[in-house]
Chains A and B, each alone.
Chain A
Amino acid sequence: MLRHPLPPHFAEWFKQQNGKDEDILLSTPNDITFEGEYAERWVVVTRDAVMMLREKDGRISAARNFAMADIESARVDPRVGSGFLQVKINGNWAEVARFSNARSTWFERIALKITRFKETGELEITPEDEKEENRCPTCSLLLRSSTDVCPRCINKHRVFGRLLLLMKPYWPWAAGTLALVFIGLGLDLIPPQLSRILMDDVFVRDPNRDFLMPAWAREYIGTNPIAMLFWVVFVGMAGVQLLRILINIVIARLSVTVGTKITHDLRHRLFTRLSELSVKYYDRHQVGILMTRVTSDTEALHGFIIQSTQGFLVNILLPLFIGITLFRMNAELTLYVLIPAPFVIVSTYYFWERVYPRYYKFWDSHSKLAGMLNSVLSGVRVVKAFAQEGRETNRFDKLSENLQTSRRHVDKATGTFYPIVGFIFGLGGLIVWFVGGRYVLEQRYGMTLGTLTAFTSYLGMFYGPLSNLTYISSWLTSFMTAAQRIFEVLDTEPEIVENPTAYHMHICRGELEFKNVSFGYDRHNPVIRDLSFRIEPGEMIGIVGRSGSGKTTLINLLCRFYDVDRGAVLIDGVDVRDLHKDDLRRNIGLVLQEPFLFRGTVRENIAYGRPDADIENIMRAAKAANAHDFVMRLPDGYDTKLGEYGSGLSGGERQRISIARALLYDPAVLILDEATSSVDTESEKQIQDALSTITKGRTTIAIAHRLSTLKNSNRIIVMNDGRVIEIGTHNELMALEGTYYKLVKIQTELTSEPTVERLQLESSKK
């Protein structure tokens, strides 16, 4: 909080020294001393002073106290793991307080508030200021963005509920599957009972004992009940098994149908949401991670559906049903059966906690070795050129040794674990044979050979699911995590939202205006500062400035990849935030430094913005972009399939395709962001020729490091540190002898030296 109540003893001290509490404009704790030790410190800002309070030896004092009248501005000086709040006094920066990274957001805001207070005399705290940026409001956990869902606080029941909701459209299939699961479990219990009948009523029939088979069934069977019984039980056993197989097949097919349908729905929803999210979201999230969410996480949910019907339920219900059956058959013997159960549970827990994680290390060593091999074998020329074969061999040996060690640890652990677990599982059988066998011999508790056989059969079905139960929670967690990651994306609201009353502007004239624009990718660190300029329709504007001066940011704001923090960007006098996004982008064509071509044909790539364009227009655009001739040289012409990122073409050729794409799009405003900087001189000339065609009569903004490419511009804007420092025609700026003049001079000197390309050109002219 920016206005955090002072602890009572600090508040009391402040009151004594400075008057009333109301004088405090800002007060917030900083957590470390200047020496970097954790301690309670408070930064207090009043109309008259900025101070840091501390308690030492039971005495409170203002360890730092700067009169507001002397302060020019404030800033945060970030270091490694901590930062300093500093104020500027007579041109020098003085330290007010030090804080750990946990407090950095607050001190960035305080620095901004102090500076604004000095500029305007006003200090206002809005609810937005008190919001914990990128932190969960419940548990204060740092999130990747303010719109991210807190993974710690996510309601697991809700996640499960949402997962079930996903199944809603498929409930008849789900209900059918569930019913079949129950029938299947019932069938699983029948074979041991049949074998019991077979044993006690057929094979070792005791004349003193009643038939297990009910009297009505025997009457129905007829004169030779024993022989007939054998056949009935046998057919029953075969029938149950056949039915079980049939049910298993139907369950598998149904659950796969439900699972794949749900994952398809999810993938569709995820991709739709990802395409709605702003560029800012992609700045914070790695593309690889997002790809994992669309591909692997949805597959994990598929696994969840399958497991729910075939794994979890069976594992939970089967031991329960068998337990009840065993108790009904012989309660005493069942108690003995339960003796190994705790060991089964403990050993399975041990496996997942201690043995299984060893696989992580093994997989990691494996992938590191593969990665190393890949890089060394791909770069074998470099290795040989620098004579580093020996070093690479050592590196390989070390990684191979790691792999060997991790493999040994895994195999040793599993090699010890499995026999022990096998023995524990077998222990149950031994106990049943020993105790149950004695009951049979001593004819105690009505135990018969058939019951004993049934017991041992049930035992095999009892321990397996029981051990699976131990890691059900771990399975569930992994499914929940995958689900949560998917919901995180689905729940993220797009930061750039369409204004409900947005205008439609089908064709614009191309008049652009930046009006007092301020913007920072990080709100507290502006990249564009109070920038204003205007571009007339049809004008060609060159923008120059060193890296980080804000050139590309201007383009990002114009395309509304980001929204401005203050001010407005206007197209034909309309704020870009008030325009339909599609209309805005339809009027802007973008040619980037690295042309991005998609997997597809040349024709599809040129027509990317206008898929309905006919081939003649596509060829016209390609001709104007100087691409037609090289496309025609390709064996398949415009039907040539390009690989990922346009592989198969040179950099210059890819760029000319992207220019053709922009040309076909026919935008009112054309943006060229370093369009020719990554190609060779000859390609640059061809691209320049292409560009001169397409920029005619169109508002064009060209960013370039090679100033020669801007010589045809109507005006040139020179940027530095987010501000326009010079603006005018080439001649005006040269006459000014300012930054532009210096840049031109440096580049002229650099390019005056002969290059291979220039020499080749000159010799070919002779």
Chain B
Amino acid sequence: MIEAPAEQTTKPEGFRDLVFIDPTTIKIEESTFAGLEITIEGEKYEGVRASLALPITDPEHYVSLRVGATKGEEIEIGMIRNLSELSEECQKLIRRELKKRYFLHVIHKIIEVKEKFGFIYFDTETNKGMRKFAMRYEYNRVQDYGEFGRVILDTDDNRYIIPDLRLLSPDEYKAFTRYVYW
């Protein structure tokens, strides 16, 4: 069942409120096609994709379930407030779908950082193995990731995350901040 908004107030016609999905009534199944097959109150949705409202600061909450991939035809079926409220099986499927949305490298160790002619070259150990990549030495190629983390966009726009700069070793921290000082 789809939850009604917490407070019933008079809303103008055409006003669209957020819809939160009751985690106990949602049925999530694998699909032979792209996305998931989801049934809510007997209504079936195919090709459902999941995305996070707060992928950096709160990846366990506020999962948006959506159908349609292209601009303009995308519709939100509703949101799940808390992933852990779903059954184990449903959680697994949603997490798998979220993994499909976000392809991120998490940097575990910085082996070397070099600057040469307008590029920063990184040699790193990530959750996806050893990765060497280059980044244009420009301010907007490294952005904040939460309060203490950084996300690096390489020359292909692949994303490399340092979740918390404070967790780097002093040498790694020095090597990184020598170039990425912002």
Contact = CB atoms under 8 A, between A and B. Distances in A.
Tell whether A pairs with B. yes
Interface of A: 32, 34-38, 75, 77, 79-82, 84, 86, 89, 92-95, 98, 100-102, 141-142, 151-152, 354, 357, 360-361, 364, 477, 480-481, 484, 548, 721
B7 to A, nearest CB: 22
Nearest to A546: B72
A151 B118 contact: yes
Residue with the greatest number of chain A CB neighbours at <10 A, chosen from B103, B155, B179, B182: B103
A93 B34 contact: yes
Contacts of A481: 117-118
A142 B138 CA distance: 14
B156 interface: yes
B128 A38 contact: yes
Contact of B119 (A34, A36, A86, A152): A152
Contacts of B159: 80-81
B101 interface: yes
Interface string B57-76: 00000000000010110000
B29 interface: no
A80 B34 contact: no
A477 B69 contact: no
Contact of A79 (B100, B117, B119, B182): B100
Interface of B: 32-35, 46-47, 55, 69, 71-72, 96, 99-104, 117-119, 128-129, 134, 155-159, 177-179, 181-182
Nearest to B131: A38
Given A77-B69, A86-B34, A92-B47, A151 B156 contact: no
Contacts of B35: 93
Contact of A151 (B96, B99, B117): B117
B47 A93 contact: yes
30 contacts: A32-B103, A34-B100, A36-B99, A38-B129, A75-B69, A79-B100, A80-B102, A81-B103, A81-B104, A81-B158, A81-B159, A89-B33, A93-B34, A93-B35, A98-B103, A100-B103, A101-B103, A101-B157, A141-B134, A142-B157, A151-B119, A152-B117, A354-B178, A357-B181, A364-B181, A477-B117, A480-B117, A481-B117, A481-B118, A721-B72
Nearest to A79: B101
Nearest to B33: A92
B103 A79 contact: yes
A321 B99 CA distance: 66
B34 A95 contact: yes
B156 A142 contact: yes
Contacts of B102: 79-81
Contact of A102 (B46, B47, B96, B156): B156
Contacts of B157: 81, 101, 142
Nearest to B70: A75
Nearest to A480: B117
B142 to A, nearest CB: 12
Among all A-B residue pairs, the 10 with the closest Cβ atoms: A82-B103, A81-B103, A102-B156, A361-B181, A92-B33, A142-B155, A360-B181, A93-B34, A101-B157, A81-B159
B123 to A, nearest CB: 16
B108 to A, nearest CB: 15
Nearest to A360: B181
A141 B104 CA distance: 20
Given A77-B34, A80-B55, A93-B34, 4 more contacts: A36-B99, A92-B46, A94-B32, A360-B181
B44 to A, nearest CB: 13
A361 B178 CA distance: 9
Residue with the greatest number of chain B CB neighbours at <10 A, chosen from A80, A94, A95, A102: A80
Contacts of B101: 79-80
A15 B34 CA distance: 29
Residue with the greatest number of chain B CB neighbours at <10 A, chosen from A81, A100, A141, A484: A81
Residue with the greatest number of chain A CB neighbours at <10 A, chosen from B55, B118, B177: B118
A141 B155 contact: yes
A94 B71 contact: no
Contacts of A101: 103, 156-158
Contact of B71 (A82, A361, A548): A548
A548 B72 CA distance: 9
Nearest to B179: A357
A492 to B, nearest CB: 17
Interface of A, secondary structure class, is mixed
A94 B33 contact: yes
A38 B133 CA distance: 14
B182 A36 contact: no
A721 B99 CA distance: 30
Nearest to A367: B182
Given A94-B32, A481-B117, A548-B71, A80 B104 contact: yes
B33 A364 contact: no
B16 to A, nearest CB: 15
B69 A35 contact: no
Contacts of B134: 141
Contacts of B128: 36-38
Contacts of B46: 92
A97 to B, nearest CB: 12
Contacts of B96: 35
Contacts of A480: 117
A103 to B, nearest CB: 9
B36 to A, nearest CB: 12
B129 to A, nearest CB: 6
Contact of B100 (A98, A364, A721): A98
Residue with the greatest number of chain B CB neighbours at <10 A, chosen from A36, A89, A141, A151: A36
Contact of B34 (A94, A361, A721): A94
Nearest to A368: B182
A101 B158 CA distance: 6
Contacts of A354: 178
B158 A100 contact: yes
Contacts of B129: 38
A8 B32 CA distance: 31
Contacts of B72: 548, 721
A141 B154 CA distance: 10
A116 B96 CA distance: 32
A152 B34 CA distance: 39
Contacts of A94: 32-34
Contacts of A151: 117-119
A84 B33 CA distance: 12
Nearest to A78: B69
Contacts of B178: 354, 357
Nearest to A76: B69
Nearest to B71: A548
A485 to B, nearest CB: 9
A75 B70 CA distance: 10
Given A79-B103, A92-B47, A548-B72, A102 B158 contact: yes
B103 to A, nearest CB: 3
Contacts of A34: 100
Contacts of B117: 151-152, 477, 480-481, 484
A481 to B, nearest CB: 6
B132 to A, nearest CB: 13
B117 to A, nearest CB: 6
Contact of B69 (A81, A93, A102): A93
A309 to B, nearest CB: 25
A36 B103 CA distance: 6
Residue with the greatest number of chain A CB neighbours at <10 A, chosen from B119, B129, B181: B181
A493 to B, nearest CB: 22
A93 B117 CA distance: 44
A89 B34 CA distance: 11
A92 B96 CA distance: 20
Contacts of A84: 34, 100
Nearest to B102: A80
A325 B63 CA distance: 77
B135 to A, nearest CB: 11
B82 to A, nearest CB: 22
Contacts of B104: 80-81
Contact of A364 (B47, B99, B182): B182
